[in-house]
Amino acid sequence: MHNNPDKFHLTDTFMTTKTIRMICLIVLAGTLTGCAYWWRAFETYKQMGEFDKYFNVVVTDDFTLQFKDPKMLSEDFVSLANLRASEENPTADGKHWRYWFRKVDGYKKIVQPEVKFYSDMNFNKSDKLVAWSFSNLFLEIAPPKFLEVSLRSIGGAEINKAKMSLRGNPDLVKKVADDLPKKSAVVAKLGQPFEVKKEKDQEVYIYRFLLDTKTIEEGYEKNALNEVKLSFDNKTQELIRMAGNFAGLKISINYRQFQDKSADET
């Protein structure tokens, strides 16, 4: 017997709304690919909305994103591009994976002197990703503060279900006052590009890096070749955009969207 039917009605409505919301989230995640690993990726995406609660950034010689409540499993990353890591080694706390990317020419031959960078993943004993690192050479094209703020912007990202991608919202994060890398400094580290495309206000330097991987599933051989496009402003010679596909992970950062230019105006 309900002494207060109005209160019961409100509670019932709340539970129904909550259930509908959960169903919508499940449907949304399912429409991304219908695979379990995309559900775990979606769970990680939701954590980005409370970045400092769920993540920690450590910058030394490399850049490391630490996961406080990890969701992604090691095989999730294999599923992204049907590629395995270059090195897979057990550790006392779980296992460590390293992806090596080596600069190549148009024939996929390693360029000499060798130019390479790595991406590291550390998994705990439950096979969940607890730390993701990028080596110092990668930071030449993705400066640490800009890389961090771009990750923070994912918390307000727009989900494109058709392309299975996220577009960060730079308006929701604090801008970076640092200068951007100059073309001369980037080329000094990476060497000459595979190709240069000249546009009205910028030049796009295209580099090719081949993933050193243990196995490539038949039909996915092209996924091991990663093109990195670096856009430099013709006037300032600054690196203003980086876009690349790294073993199934597509990254595109428009640095100007995250740069605080007010210091230059004072």
Chain centroid offset of residue 49 CA? 15
Are 206 and 228 within 8 A, CB to CB? yes
Across 74-90, average pLDDT: 90
How far, in Å, CA of 46 to CA of 24, rounded?
14
Q: What is the pTM of this model?
A: 0.81
Least confident of 83-87, 116-120, 139-143, 218-222: 218-222
Supply the pLDDT for residue 96: 98
How far, in Å, CA of 197 to CA of 122, rounded?
37
Residues of the chain with pLDDT > 70: what percent?
Answer: 79
How far, in Å, CA of 253 to CA of 150, rounded?
7
How far, in Å, CA of 258 to CA of 169, rounded?
10
The confidence band for 54, taking pLDDT boundaries of 50, 70 and 90, is very high
How far, in Å, CA of 84 to CA of 217, rounded?
9
